[in-house]
Amino acid sequence: MQHYPSYRSYLRRTFGMPVLKVSLNAGFTCPNRDGTVGTHGCTFCDNRAFSSAVGLSTTPVEQMRAAMARSAGRVGAFLAYLQPYTNTHAPVDTLRQIYEPLVALDRVVGLAVGTRPDCVPPDVVEYLGDLARRTYVSVELGLQSTHDATLRAVNRGHTYADFVDAVRRLDAQGIESVAHVILGLPGETIGMMTETARRLAGLPVRGVKIHQLMIVRGTQLEQWHAEGRAPVLTLEEYARALCVFLEHLRPDQHIHRIVADSTAQRGLVAPQWSADKQATIRFLHAYMDNARTVQGGAFAPT
């Protein structure tokens, strides 16, 4: 049984071949750290725990060429993914200097840009629209929850309305948008997570990237966890939440990820099942088999 449409399959259908998505570090910062929005960042965030690209110091083009060389003969097409921090947090001229050399590389079929919903001003959206008419462009927006009380609690520095506005403006330019969501944020119930899925299903969001709340060493959330204010989901609890979440999305929204992983070496504190991604994925798929989960099974168009 196919439980959800994977992004990997979507890319294969779109380009007629397997596509390797390569994480790159373009040296951007975050407006929630540099004082534009805030200085302390999100309570859960340390990019070193989530992205292998954080430690890279060469240019994005050099990083891309190195990844392509490592995959020589095994992959025919590549997607450049600007992942750590906020990759639209600069003037458009700076973005052009970073983006254009990447999409000009042979066998690079497009660009994925990780950013925030409050960091896509009109001139950036206009440029991304121009780029999307020349190559494949996917904009990944860190949302995490559609509930403003949760966003305030984890110090996101933006609102759900910011996300809705960004998605609609991107869609008007023909730009594919992806929502990043965390299941198990402090204070969130299954009902609240389900409502986030329902709201995403009603928006022109093309893809969803889902992962569990992870407690990372050195973050504000680590202190809350130690105080009992930020419990984490067991693997079975996460599986149940994930199944319900998927069932309330639209059937056509491709899924970029169903779980994240980290290790103690990269700062993981909890939940420990996050350290074994393959075993976790096997458990989740078996749970979906048993629950007969099908994405969109509970979707109700409005």
Domain of 209, CATH number, reads 3.20.20.70
pLDDT by residue, tens only, the chain of 302 residues: 799 999 999 999 999 999 999 999 999 988 778 878 776 767 787 645 455 655 677 999 999 999 999 998 888 899 999 998 899 999 999 999 999 999 999 999 999 999 999 999 999 999 999 999 999 999 999 999 999 999 999 989 899 999 999 999 999 999 999 999 999 999 999 999 999 999 999 999 999 999 999 999 999 999 999 999 999 999 999 999 999 999 999 999 999 999 999 999 989 999 999 999 999 999 999 999 999 999 999 998 87
Instruction: Indicate whether 159 belongs to any domain.
Output: yes
Instruction: Indicate whether 211 belongs to any domain.
Output: yes
Instruction: Indicate whether 296 belongs to any domain.
Output: no
How far is Cα 254 from Cα 235, in angstroms, rounded to an integer? Answer: 23
Instruction: Indicate whether 300 belongs to any domain.
Output: no
Q: What is the structure's pLDDT at 49? A: 46
Q: What is the structure's pLDDT at 170? A: 98
CA distances, 29 to each of 40, 85, 115 (Å) = 13, 6, 10
Instruction: Indicate whether 143 belongs to any domain.
Output: yes
Q: What is the structure's pLDDT at 44? A: 81
All residues at 6 or more sequence positions from 33 whose CB lies less than 8 Å from its CB, including other chains: 39, 40, 41, 85
The total of structural domains in the chain comes to: 1
Q: What is the structure's pLDDT at 30? A: 86
* Count of CA atoms in the C-beta half-sphere (13 A) of 128: 30
Q: What is the structure's pLDDT at 46? A: 64
Structure tokens at 96: 């052009």
Domain interval for residue 12: 7-291
How far is Cα 63 from Cα 84, in angstroms, rounded to an integer? Answer: 14
Q: What is the structure's pLDDT at 54? A: 59
How far is Cα 223 from Cα 171, in angstroms, rounded to an integer? Answer: 39
Which of these, 207, 216, 199, lies nearest to 180 by C-alpha position?
A: 207
Instruction: Indicate whether 195 belongs to any domain.
Output: yes
Asked if 228 and 246 count as a contact pair (C-beta separation under 8 A), the reply is no
pTM as predicted: 0.94
Instruction: Supply the DSSP string of the chain, one letter for each residue.
Output: ---S-BHHHHHHHHHSS-EEEEEE------TTTSSSS-SS--TT--GGGT-TTTT--S-HHHHHHHHHHHTTTT-SEEEEEE-SS-TT-S-HHHHHHHHHHHHTSTTEEEEEEEE-TTS--HHHHHHHHHHHTTSEEEEEEEEE-S-HHHHHHTT--S-HHHHHHHHHHHHHTT-EEEEEEEES-TT--HHHHHHHHHHHHTTT--EEEEEE--EETTSHHHHHHHTTSS----HHHHHHHHHHHHHTS-TT-EEEES-----GGGTEEE-GGGG-HHHHHHHHHHHHHHHT--TTTT----
Q: What is the structure's pLDDT at 32? A: 78
Instruction: Indicate whether 231 belongs to any domain.
Output: yes
Length of the chain: 302
How far is Cα 44 from Cα 185, in angstroms, rounded to an integer? Answer: 9
What's the gap between Cα 79 and its chain centre? 15
CA distances, 85 to each of 50, 60, 142, 151 (Å) = 11, 14, 10, 17
Instruction: Indicate whether 72 belongs to any domain.
Output: yes
